[in-house]
Amino acid sequence: MEQIQLTMTIGEIIKNYPETREVFINNGFSIFADDTVIQQLGVVLKLKTALKSKNINEESFMKLLQGKIAETGRYKNLQTTVLENDSNHLNMLSLLPCPLKVPMQGELKLFLDYLREEKNLPLNYCIESFFNDHLDYEDYLEHFEEADEIPDIIMTAGYGFFYKKFMDRFVAKGVFADVINRPVNSRLAEAGIIDPDGHFTVIGANVLVMVVDKNRLGSIPMPKTWGDLLKPEYENKVVMRGHGDTFCDVVQLNYYKDYGAAGVEQLGRSVKYGLHPAQMVKELTSSRKDVPPIHIMPYFFYKTMKESNHIRILWPEDGILTYPISVLIKADKMQELQELAEYLTGPEIARICAEAYFPATHGDVKVNLPEHVKLKWLGWDFIKSNDMKYLVETMNDTFMRVYREGGKEVCS
């Protein structure tokens, strides 16, 4: 086995030994949970430089890396995707944001293979990133007509599984059931993120915050609520997640619920451009003069930034934008997959969520947010009474029409 050298780049190490990414994430380099960071920063940042920036002992860290590589060698038969039994039916599909998928997949794979090998449970599973270009499972959701076309367990974030056809055909008809008798954190329960109908078993949440550069903001007042960003003084002062001609549906839908289509239109004037959250971190910490002062990003990415006197997180008075991380479990498979269901909704997975700055719903795991912070989200009544696919597409079209009228380009 080739020895890792301090002169190797982070990208080179992770490319040759993907398992080492977990070591970086768990030891002060959580930013490397994101593929975009590795592609942009990892290809030039050498290991010795990265360790020096964090005052990490080189010898100790090298031992961690080598130990992880050796451990992985013992489990080299474990794969992200396992399709072995005769049915080829997918028992479990996990689609999660990369910052959560990376730390979770190692533990999850070990447990799944324990069930397959020790409990003789014939499991086919697939663990993928929510934004995998090669596996866009959500494109097929509205075309499924029979329950046996769908995996027995689905772990996911975002709104794709709330689309009307999927909800009407499967969710509303009781195909999925909640895992009962699990302790739930009171803060998450008060925010209303637990599905009252018991179809979606919510295990955690992704949260979006405002990150503000006070120097770049200048004399403009600090926003206090999400609605403040619609004021004229914030025109072209905001960056949010965007790729091509598609911008973050979570942000758009919250503005639509609170301020109608006119609010989404004004948001299109306030946003100067869209970026991946990793790119937001890079530009906020740069010396560029033309960077907008306000960035809407997941809490995880804010936590990857070094502390700064002029770059600060803003906790809006009306709450941080929240959307659930859910587990869908078929009711007729609940007994057969009980051990797996309990594991996915138990304290171990909850701690992984919390450590990655995704607040967990489990009652035994502390919410990793300041006590005064409120959670703001669309709510189950809104989701279940609206055609979410129609809203997502229509609001993005509304946003883009105004955005383009301002002469702004699509995102890279």
Res 55: pLDDT: 82
pLDDT digits (tens, 9 = 90+) for 175-201: 999 887 788 999 999 999 999 999 999
pLDDT over 90 percentage in the chain: 53
User: Phi and psi for 332 in degrees, rounded to 5?
Assistant: -80, -5
pLDDT tens digits, 91-140 = 888 888 888 888 888 888 889 888 888 888 877 877 766 544 334 566 66
In 214-343, DSSP assigns E strands to: 238-243, 246-247, 271-275, 294-298, 311-314, 320-329
| Closest by CA position to 159, among listed 194, 189, 130, 126 | 130
pLDDT at 129: 60
Residue 203 is predicted with a pLDDT of: 95
pLDDT, mean over the chain: 87
Q: Over 90: is that where the pLDDT of 375 sits?
A: yes
- Mean per-residue pLDDT, 295-323: 92
pLDDT for 219 equals 95
Please compute the mean of the pLDDT values over residues 68-79 and round it to a whole number. Answer: 55
**Taking residues 361-381, what's their average pLDDT?**
94
The 10s digit of each residue's pLDDT in 197-243 is: 999 999 999 999 999 999 999 999 999 999 999 999 999 999 999 98
Give the helix ranges, DSSP H, for 47-185: 47-53, 58-74, 98-118, 164-166
Return the structure tokens found at 5: 């050298």
Spatial CB neighbours of 103, under 8 Å, sequence gap ≥ 6: 22, 25, 26, 33, 352, 355, 356
